[in-house]
Amino acid sequence: MFVTMAVDHLLTSFILLLISNTGFSAEISVFVQTGDSVQLDIQTHELLEFDVLSWTNDKSENIVRFIHASKTEKPHPSYKDRVDFNDENFSLTLKNMQKTDSGLYTARTIGESEKIIVTYRVSVIDAVEAPVLTVKSNWSSDSCLISFTCRSHEFTLSSAFKYGSCSPEEVTSHEIYTLILYCSEESIICNHSNTVSWKEDRINIKRLCEDNERFSIETHHGLSMFGLMFIVFGVVGVIVFSGLVLYCCCKNNKGVKQSDDTDYDDVETLTQKMTGDTWTTIIYCTVGHQTPSSAHDC
């Protein structure tokens, strides 16, 4: 019996505590970007009978004082041009918010007693700066592996992405700022955000990898192609050269047998036509056949 009463008492106080918490100290947090407007609602449809409804800031200035009987409102001079008050639902809209406007905004009614209806904690913050994504590229032999860094005012994130398979996203955050680094099929994206805004930087990974691939093929294969062509030309050159030498010597032999002067002329012209080592050929001819006439001619 005594125990049940104690439990009942405990429960009651707990419920009371909850009510007082929601009724008095609960604040609604609102973030506004510098220069933007904010609309503050009273969050209830049932207002008790009241004489005056007011919205105040934490300097206890009455931004608006609404007199129920006359349905007239009086805005504070310092808010005159940038406040809208709706006398049907008692919403307050503040325009062109500046950082100095951050703080508590409270709606209260005054009648037989004073009652706080709602309190907002308004934070006016600047939009985030755009993050900067930098590629510290890396090309491994078999695939496009790109490492990069994303920097914002507060953080730096680094990661590496392999073309065709996205790594899990990297996230870092502090208070109201978050930096996320992730990738889609085509792009690497870095998203810098706070509670009022976000900006991103992205890089087309597909194009980057295709450019990389082309460059790699050009450098690797380009080099071997050059080598191959060098060898082919070399071999062809040697064959042509040997052929000419052979031709020269055969003609020489014939010439000796036939003792025909015109043939010597032919050989001479041929040797002259050949670029470079004319002398080698001549000597070769001489050594090869030891004919006095050819030695003379060569």
Ligand X SMILES: *[C@@H]1O[C@H](CO)[C@@H](O)[C@H](O)[C@H]1NC(C)=O
Residues 117-136 that bind ligand X (CB under 6 A): none
Q: Cβ neighbours of residue 1 under 8 Å, at least 6 residues apart?
A: none
Q: Cβ neighbours of residue 26 under 8 Å, at least 6 residues apart?
A: 119
For residue 170, the cross-strand partners are 181
**x/- letters, 245..264, toward ligand X (CB under 6 A):** --------------------
How many residues contact ligand X, by CB under 6 A?
Answer: 12
Around 203, how many Cα atoms within 13 Å sit in the side-chain half-sphere?
Answer: 21
How far apart, in whole angstroms, are the C-alpha atoms of residue 148 and residue 134? Answer: 6
How far apart, in whole angstroms, are the C-alpha atoms of residue 83 and residue 92? Answer: 7
Instruction: Give min distance, CB of 198 to ligand X, in A.
Output: 4
Instruction: Give min distance, CB of 2 to ligand X, in A.
Output: 48
R_g of the chain computed on alpha carbons:
46
Q: Cβ neighbours of residue 147 under 8 Å, at least 6 residues apart?
A: 135, 136, 137, 138, 158, 159, 160, 161
Residues 159-218 that bind ligand X (CB under 6 A): 178, 191, 193, 198, 200
E strand or H helix at 72: strand 72-75
Instruction: Give min distance, CB of 205 to ligand X, in A.
Output: 15
CB of 50 or CB of 90, closer to ligand X:
90
Residues 5-44 that bind ligand X (CB under 6 A): 41
CB of 179 or CB of 298, closer to ligand X:
179
CB of 68 or CB of 289, closer to ligand X:
68
Instruction: Give min distance, CB of 43 to ligand X, in A.
Output: 8
Do 211 and 203 form a contact (C-beta atoms < 8 A)? no
**x/- letters, 73..92, toward ligand X (CB under 6 A):** -------------x--x-x-
| Binding site residues, ligand X, CB under 6 A | 41, 86, 89, 91, 138, 140, 145, 178, 191, 193, 198, 200
